[in-house]
Amino acid sequence: MAGLAAAFGSGAMTNSISEFEDADLFLVTGSNTTAQHPLIGSRIINAVEKGAKLILIDPREIPLAPFATLHLKQNIGTDVAVLNAMMNFIIQEECYDKEFVEARTEGFDALKASVARYTPKVSEMITGIKASDLNRAATMYAKADKAMLVYAMGITQHTTGTDNVKSCANLAMLTGHVGRSSTGVNPLRGQNNVQGACDMGGLPGVFTGYQRVNDGAVKKKFEDAWGISGLDDKPGLTITGMIAAAHRGDLKALYIMGENPLMSDPDVTHVERSLSNLDFLVVQDIFLSETAALADVVLPAACFAEKEGTYTNTERRVQLSRKAVSPPGQARADWEIVAEVCKRCGLAADYRSPGEIMNEINKLTPSYAGITYSRLSSGYGLSWPCPNTDHPGTPYLHRDQFTKGKGSFLPCDFKPVSEVPDEEYDFTLTTGRVYFQYHTGTMTRRVDLLEREAPEPLVEMNPEDAKKLGIRNSDMVEVSSRRGSITLKAEVTDRVPRRVLFTTFHFHEAQVNLLTNPVHDPIAEIPEYKGCAVKVRRCS
């Protein structure tokens, strides 16, 4: 969000899922799409089978690879160098969209000067990709009529995550692939309703609809609506900031909803110590997760099928979900729990239904003003911005101008991952997901069918590395970083390049986040899950 908001003025997916099948070309980077977003992955495959081209940038041989026209296997953490090299070639060959750049952007000269350093020889040395392949990718993307750039957490989960996103925006603007159907910069959200949570103020510096807490007029609007005064105009802490503050003793109490940081945060040992240092921990969840087991109070929440409300998906589409069954035991819908806590703290929160909450959202959130329950009840959903009830919603952004007026080129320089391999820790570990499990496994690992398909953690290792270390397929191995060790089964496979290991974070039996590096992007504060130095040995 930080990178796209700086470049375009809006930090969301620019285009719609339905547009994928009409694209001429896809540039997919940092996204194992068929595993993480399988329905979107199937649309990409459908388009390719109808004639679209696919440029895949990924160090692994993921399931999309056989469909790729060109697969660029970059060294981990070199995304900025890859994209800068492509832009350098596009500018040198003068196949950028000069009319678009002149009319709709600013900062082109600074971008041109910055990417000029990424010559073919320099780029090949940094990225590990042949200059000829980088040049071919650049030409294909620049000359396509409708090209969609698609990325996910392989781009964002680095110390340079915001720079990676800015570079994606730079490439799209340079070639004019934004502001039209079946084009754009399209981040695929990592979890269900992450977009909706952000839209509703689930970030430390904004109210709903990304209205800044330090804007006096916005602050007064919310104070008047809620009948209170003195709302804080200072941004709060991010997740990583909260963990650090708890460790220092500066944060005394924490209320966690639907999050399992003892599985999902980096350097889990540090996270556990930090949470244990709190005076008071509340966890609101549908199951007793690893984090909930540490809590002083657990508030049992209803799952998606047990409550009514809306979800905003990765394409900004707001959809209404109806209650199918009643929640078990003492479980209640999240909004009911939060409203009750508010009332016991002295704040009037007399909502009687999710529909009443949506009415308030319509009044206070300009981008959601026209997204009413009555409209959602009769259709497929509406994509924001939707400023009034006569508006049809917005399938793609930045049609005539960017949200901020002119789009800004934001040059970025390559910086390596924070922890590079050395003599002792001589492998790079990167993490991701598998098709049959989801995130920290809180839900999917309770499903017998999914457990049958993906029952245990595996670490992928290149056959050449395995042979040198005397490791065979299915051997138990110990993987260690400077922060901890885990034991899991080896999967010897050509999917990963030499000196790289890949595993998932779904399995508590081998918590990979005991190993990961807690350093984070300085702007968005996203941890660097996608690269840390480790060593591996066969267990005797």
CATH number, residue 310: 3.40.50.740
More confident: 522 or 391: 391
Number of domain units in the chain: 3
Residue 273 — very low, low, confident or very high, per pLDDT cuts 50/70/90?
A: very high
Same domain, 154 and 267: no
* 288 contacts: CB under 8 Å, gap ≥ 6: 298
Is 8 inside any structural domain?
A: yes
CATH number of the CATH domain containing 98: 3.40.228.10
Same domain, 214 and 260: yes
Residue 93 — very low, low, confident or very high, per pLDDT cuts 50/70/90?
A: very high
Same domain, 373 and 501: no
89-95 contacts at long range (C-beta below 8 A, 24 or more positions apart): 89/120, 89/134, 89/135, 89/138, 89/139, 90/138, 90/139, 90/141, 90/142, 90/174, 90/175, 91/115, 91/116, 91/174, 93/138, 93/139, 93/142, 95/139, 95/142, 95/143
Task: Provide the pLDDT for residue 378.
Answer: 83
Task: Provide the pLDDT for residue 379.
Answer: 80
Sheet containing strand 25-29, strands side by side? 70-72, 53-57, 25-29, 147-151, 185-187
Q: Give the Cβ contact number of residue 381 at 10 Å.
A: 18
- Secondary structure of residue 184 in the 3-state scheme: coil
- Is residue 540's pLDDT more than 80? no
Percentage of the residues of the chain whose pLDDT score is greater than 90? 89
- Is residue 310's pLDDT more than 80? yes
Q: Which domain holds residue 475?
A: 427-538
Q: Which of 383, 415, 447 is the last residue of a domain?
A: 383
Residue 305 DSSP class: G
Task: Provide the pLDDT for residue 470.
Answer: 95
Task: Provide the pLDDT for residue 275.
Answer: 97
- Is residue 192's pLDDT more than 90? no
Task: Provide the pLDDT for residue 281.
Answer: 98
Residue whose entry in the numeric block shows the structure tokens 């069918």: 449
State the Cα–Cα distance between residues 524 and 233, nearest whole angstrom. Answer: 19
CATH number of the CATH domain containing 530: 2.40.40.20
Task: Provide the pLDDT for residue 1.
Answer: 82
Q: Which of 383, 399, 414 is the last residue of a domain?
A: 383
Residue 190 — very low, low, confident or very high, per pLDDT cuts 50/70/90?
A: confident
Same domain, 273 and 217: yes
- Secondary structure of residue 408 in the 3-state scheme: strand
Q: In angstroms, what CA-CA distances link 89 with 25, 61, 69, 123, 169?
A: 18, 26, 19, 11, 17
Same domain, 436 and 524: yes
Residue 440 — very low, low, confident or very high, per pLDDT cuts 50/70/90?
A: confident
Q: Give the model confidence (pLDDT) of 447-499 as tens digits.
A: 999 999 999 999 999 999 999 999 999 999 999 999 999 999 999 999 999 99
Same domain, 231 and 134: no
Same domain, 108 and 250: no
Same domain, 146 and 246: no
- Is residue 367's pLDDT more than 90? yes
β-strand partners of 257: 284
Average pLDDT value over all residues in the chain: 95
Task: Provide the pLDDT for residue 191.
Answer: 84
